[in-house]
Amino acid sequence: MTITVKKNLVSEAKYALKCPNHMDAEYITIHNTANDASAANEISYMIGNTSSTSFHFAVDDKEVRQGIPTNRNAWHTGDGKYGTGNRKSIGVEICYSKSGGAKYKAAEKLAIKFVAQLLKERGWGIDRVRKHQDWNGKYCPHRILSEGRWNEVKAAIEKELKALGGKTSSPSGSSSGSTYTVKKGDTLSDIAKAKGVSMANLQKWNNIKDPNKIKVGQILKLKGSSSSSSTKSSSKKSSYALPSGVIKVTSPMTKGTNVRQVQNALAALYFYPDKGAKNNGIDGVYGPKTANAVKRFQSVSGLTADGIYGSKTKAKIEEKLK
Ligand SMILES: [Zn+2]
């Protein structure tokens, strides 16, 4: 049965504040409201207030309400002006998470069905579903996380999706779906994200030296052969050599291979780039976008989030690339 969405869309006069950019969504992000308000109240409050914070849908125990059109971006993932979460994902808030209980349970149940419906409509698999935490490290959806049920929620969405006759995802462990044909506009980091594999592995399995040079129609392996996957780790580090020293935004801006190395490594960890930009923004220039990516990486890695690349950030990036 199709879930009907009740729309209470933000006025166009507030687009500049709430949803300034056109969006071609690629992901769905799940949140908990950390509140005890109904979906109708969450949406009317969100579209009426003067804060830029916004999200597309709120789901409670009875209904789904929409406040932002799905072809506009919303500010819900805290990963910055150019963040993939903010610019490429549809935000779904699950209501009544503050107190939990039966009303929350029912809201979560409806949200699971609704997210499955969104996936089905778009021909997407479960691999397009993210939690808010994935984008900027925020502890959200807090109730699902604190109850240790994220995988359970994802499995429930996948089950609903199958019941709707939707696409299943292509987990790296399955024998089918072990290749991917590159489509127009794809970037290697998109493919890695969508398929749930690391960019470093994707490069290794397909012998790709330059991640910016993939061709439309190229068939990529999504798995390594069993012999090669057990003997890795060294190649990864060498393909992401990182510079020493301090790099920060200066005037004129620092440019060069060292900056490019930082950008490539951050891209492999999904903190870069700006996907709208040429070459995914891997331009070898340490400007505000790179500093912002460094900042986001630092903030989820327990470092001082100052956007300045130095030895501590280098060590953390190396640790995460292992
Ligand atoms: Zn959230």
- The tens digit of pLDDT for each residue in 291-314 reads 988 998 888 888 999 999 999 999
CA of 290 to the centre of ligand 1 (A): 24
The CA distance from 168 to 178, in Å, is: 13
The CA distance from 257 to 259, in Å, is: 5
CA of 267 to the centre of ligand 1 (A): 23
CA of 138 to the centre of ligand 1 (A): 7
CA of 53 to the centre of ligand 1 (A): 10
pLDDT score for 96: 98
The CA distance from 175 to 238, in Å, is: 29
User: pLDDT higher for 257 or 169?
Assistant: 257
Q: Tell me the pairing of strands 89-94 and 27-32.
A: parallel
Q: Are 184 and 156 in contact (CB under 8 A)?
A: no
Domain boundaries, the chain: 5-163, 179-231, 240-321
Q: Are 28 and 115 in contact (CB under 8 A)?
A: yes
Most confident residue range from 166-170, 184-188, 304-308: 304-308
CA of 94 to the centre of ligand 1 (A): 9
* pLDDT (mean) for 134-150: 95
With left for phi above 0 and alpha for psi between -120 and 50, is residue 274 left, alpha or beta? Answer: beta
CA of 49 to the centre of ligand 1 (A): 18
CA of 35 to the centre of ligand 1 (A): 11
CA of 248 to the centre of ligand 1 (A): 30
Predicted confidence (pLDDT) per residue in 93-120, tens digit: 999 999 999 999 999 999 999 999 999 9
Other CB atoms within 10 Å distance of the CB of residue 287: 15
Give the chain's radius of gyration (CA, Å): 20
Which two three-digit tokens encode residue 133?
């935490």
CATH tag for 240-321 (out of 1.10.1760.20, 3.40.50.10490, 3.50.50.60, 1.10.101.10): 1.10.101.10
Cis peptide before 141 (omega within 30 of 0): yes
Q: What is the DSSP string of 220-268?
A: EESS--HHHHHS-SHHHHHHT----S-B---SSPPBSHHHHHHHHHHHH
What is the fold, at CATH topology level, of the domain defined by 179-231? Membrane-bound Lytic Murein Transglycosylase D; Chain A (3.10.350)
CA of 79 to the centre of ligand 1 (A): 11
The CA distance from 315 to 242, in Å, is: 9
The size of the chain, in residues, is 322
* pLDDT (mean) for 143-151: 96
CA of 143 to the centre of ligand 1 (A): 11
CA of 93 to the centre of ligand 1 (A): 7
CA of 1 to the centre of ligand 1 (A): 28
The CA distance from 32 to 92, in Å, is: 8
**Is it true that 5-163 and 240-321 share their CATH fold?**
no
CA of 281 to the centre of ligand 1 (A): 26
CA of 132 to the centre of ligand 1 (A): 5
5-163 is classed CATH 3.20.20.70: no
Q: What is the pTM of this model?
A: 0.57
**169: DSSP letter:** P
Q: What is the DSSP string of 265-294?
A: HHHHTT----TTSGGGG--SB-SHHHHHHH
CA of 230 to the centre of ligand 1 (A): 37
